[in-house]
Structure 1
Amino acid sequence: MTTALRSFLRYARYRGDVTLDLAAAVPVVANWSMPSIPRAISAEQTRQLLASIDRRTAIGRRDYAILLLLARLGLRSGEVAFLELDDIDWRAGQVSVHGKSGQRSEMPLPADVGKAIAAYLLRGRPHSASRRVFLRAKAPITGFRGPCGVGSLVRHSLQRAGIDAPTMGAHQFRHGLATQMLSRGASLSEIGEVLGHRDPNTTRIYTSVDIKALRTLAPRRHSSCRL
C-alpha cells in the first residue's frame, strides 16, 4: 500500500498537480523478521492421519504415499505434484526433487516411503502416458494440475479422519518435520538442508517453535547460577 501511494504521489508531482515531494512523507512500514511461528502438525496427529488412510484401495495407496512424502521428507505440495517417474532412483534409494526457482536436489528415499510409492505404482496407478508419479483418480487421467491438487487431498484426508490440525494445508507437514528434527537435536543447517532452504534466515524461524525445550533450560540455568 505504501509503495503504491509513493508511486501515485510521484506521478502527481510529475504532472504538476503538487509541488512538494509528498512521497518522501509516506512513512516506512516496519518489516519484522520472522513475525509468526509456523503452525506445525504434531507427530501424533500425523500418525493418526496415516493410520486413517484405507490402503486397500488404489486411491488410498496414492494418498498414503503422498502424505508420507510430505511428512517424512517435508516436500512442498508442488514438489510432490510434479514428481516424475524418472526422478526416483530405486537402486540408489534417492529421489530427485524439483524445488523453487528450478532448484534440483537429491534426497534419500526412506524405506517406508519407497515401499508406499511402489505399492501405488504396482497396484493403484492407472495406465497413462503421463510420466508423473501421482495421477488424478478421475478423468482425464493425468498428473495433478498443480500444488492445489495435493492441498485438496490433504484437506479432505484431515476432514475424513476428524483431525483438528493447525491448518488444512500441506505446508504444516513441512513445519512438523522441522520442529521434530529440532527437538531431536538437529542443527539449523541440517534442517535447512533437508527442507531446501537457500536462505539461512528462513530456517531460523523454527528456533521460536520449540517452546517446550526452551522451558526445560530455564530451571537448569537458574540452578547453575546458585552454584
Structure 2
Amino acid sequence: MKFVISNQVVLSRVPDGPIAPYLGGFADSLIATGYTAWWIHRQVLLGASFSQWLGRKAVALQDLTSDHLTRYLQHRARRLRPRRDDHGALTHLLGFLRREGVVPEETTAVPTPSSVDQCVLAYEAYLREQRALTTATIVNYVPFVHAFLEHRFGAGVVKLSCLSAADVVNFVRHQAPRLHRKRAKLMTTALRSFLNYARFCGDVDVDLAAAVPVVPNWSMASIPRAIGPAQVRQLLASIDRRTALGRRDYAIVLLLARLGLRAGEVASLQLDDIDWKAGQLSVHGKSGYRNKLPLPADVGRAIAVYLKSGRPPSTSRSVFLRARAPVCGFQGGCTVGSIVRHRLQRSDVDAPTFGAHQFRHGLATEMLRGGASLGEIGELLGHRHPQTTMIYTKVDIQALRKLALPWPGDAR
C-alpha cells in the first residue's frame, strides 16, 4: 500500500518509528528550500529507514544524538552500498528535528577558557561593540593578539599591566621575519589596536602602541591590478543571459564593474536596499558604513531582469540567491569571488587576476583617466580616508608626466 508523504513524495509503505510523524514536515521544508523532487524523495526514504531502525533499537527522540546517525549508517553499509551524501542527508534531518523542538540540542562539555582566551574574548567584544568593526577585521586581528599574549604570558595568568615596550618589540622581531610583508603589517596594526584597547581599559598607563615597530615598506609600492574596459565588455558578452544563472551572474559582474562594489557588499545586498523610484542603491560597507549610490540604468535593468525571470522563489530578502538548494542568500563575499573566477575561467578574457576586486580598481583607474578627482573616486568607492584613494595616482602614468617639473639646467 502506498503512503503519501507530500505532493512530491510517495513511499511504498507506511513509515514507522519515532521520526515517522515528522517526515511530512521534513519533506515540506526541503521543498521550500528548493531541493529537486528526486533528492527530496531520497532524503525522506533514508529518513524513514532510519526511523524504522530507531524503533527497533527503542531509541526515543529525546535521546537521539549524532552518534546514532553513525551507528545506523554502519548498520546500513552491511547490506547496501553507502553513498557519500548519506551522512549529510541524515544530518539535515536531525537539524530539522532540532528546529522543531522534538530532539534536544546536544550538550558538549565546554572547556574552561584559559586566561589568554578570556582576554581575547573581551578584546573581541570591544572591537564589535565599541569600535563596530566588521567580523572580517576581527578575524584578522585576533590570531595575532592571541599569539602575542601566549608569547608573553604562556599558560599563566594574563596581566596587561605587566606589559612593556620590550615585550612588544621582541614579539614583532620574532614574528615579522616569518611573515609576508602584508601579513607583517597586519600584525603590527592588530597589536596597536590591542594595546590601545589595553590603555582604554585602564590596565596600561603608557602608550605602548607607539612602541610597535614599523615594518619596512616603500609607500604605495604596488600598483593595483585593474581590469580594462575592453576586458569587462568581453566578459559580460561571454555570459549567456538566456539562463537564470547567466542573468544572475551578469547582474553581479555589472554591479562590480559599474559601481566598484566590494564582493561582500554585493553578497549582502538586500531587496530593501534598492530604491527603484529614486534610482539609488544603499550599500553596506565596512564597519557598518552605509553609502547611497546612484543606480545606473543598465545595472538596474540587469537586476530587474534577474528578479523577474531568474531569481528562485524564496522568502529570503537577499537580492542574489544560490542557484542550487538550499536556496538562500550568499554566505559572504567569497561566493561572489567564486562566481567571478568561474566566469573568467570559462571566457577567453585575459584579466590581470581571477578576483572580484580588479573591477573596483578598474573603475577607479578609468575615472581618474577621465578627469575625476580623488575625492569623487573615494566617495563612489566608499573610502573613509583620502589616503586609501591615493594609491590610484600611480596608475595614470601619462597624467603624472604632465605634472612633472622640468629638469634644472639645459636639456642635453
Q: Structure 1 length normalisation: TM-score? A: 0.85
| Corresponding residue number in structure 1 for 2:275 | 89
- Provide the C-alpha distance between the structure 2 equivalents of 1:73 and 1:28, rounded to a whole number of angstroms: 35
Equivalent pairs: percent with the same residue?
A: 68
Q: Please list, as runs of the form range in 1=range in 2, the aligned pairs for 1:20-99 lying within 5 A after superposition.
A: 26=173, 28-99=214-285
CA distance in 2, matches of 1:129, 1:10: 50
Which letter maps to 1:52? Answer: S
The residue matched to 1:113 in structure 2 has which SS?
helix
* Cα offsets for 1:105-164 (capped at 9, x unmatched): 111000000000000001111100100000111111111111011000000111111212
- Segments of 5+ residues of structure 1 without an aligned counterpart are 13-20
> Could you tell me how far apart the structure 1 residues matched to 2:308 and 2:233 are?
24
Check 1:122–1:218 CA distance in 2 against 1; reply closer, same or farther (3 A cut): same
Residues 82-104 of structure 1: CA distance to partner in whole angstroms, max 9, x if unpaired?
A: 10100000000001000000001
- 1:189 is displaced (CA, Å) by 0.4
Instruction: Name the counterpart of 1:177.
Output: 363
After TM superposition, give the deviation of residue 218 of structure 1 in Å: 7.5
Query: Which amino acid counterpart does residue 49 of structure 1 have in structure 2?
Result: L
5+ unaligned residues in a row in structure 2: which ranges? Answer: 1-144, 155-165, 174-212
Query: Residue 188 in 1 paired to residue 374 in 2?
Result: yes
> What is the alpha-carbon distance in structure 2 between the residues aligned to residue 161 and residue 24 of structure 1?
49
Q: For residues 136-155 of structure 1, what are the structure 2 equivalents within 5 Å?
A: 136-155=322-341
Q: Deviations over 1:185-205 (max 9, x none)?
A: 000000000000001100000
3-state SS of paired residue (2:269) = coil
Distance in 2 (alpha carbons) for counterparts of 1:199 and 1:29: 21
Query: For each residue in 1:156-190, what CA deviation from the matched residue of structure 2 results, as whole angstroms up to 9, or x when unmatched?
Result: 11111121211100000000000000000000000
The equivalent residue for 1:167 is: 353
Please tell me the residue identity of whatever aligns with 2:269.
Answer: L
Whether the 8 Å contact between 1:5 and 1:23 is mirrored in structure 2 is no
1:112 alignment partner in structure 2: 298
Indicate the SS of the match to 2:387. Answer: helix
CA RMSD of aligned residues (A): 2.7
Deviation at 1:211, TM superposition (A): 1.7
1:102 equivalent among 248, 268, 288: 288
**TM-score with structure 2 setting the length:** 0.48
Whether the 8 Å CA contact 1:188–1:204 is kept in 2: the answer is yes
Give the aligned partner of residue 197 of structure 1: 383
Q: In the superposition, relative to structure 1, how do residues 220 and 151 fare at CA in structure 2: closer, same or farther (>3 Å)?
A: same
Q: For each residue in 1:47-83, what CA deviation from the matched residue of structure 2 results, as whole angstroms up to 9, or x when unmatched?
A: 1001111111111111110001000000000000110
Q: CA deviation at 1:221?
A: 5.9
Higher relative contact order (CA 8 A, sep 6+): 1
For 2:312 and 2:320, how far apart are their aligned partners in 1?
Answer: 9
**Alpha-carbon distance between aligned partners in 2 of 1:106 and 1:23, rounded to the nearest angstrom:** 41
Matched AA of 2:253: L
Aligned residues of 1:40 and 1:173 also touching (Cα < 8 A): yes
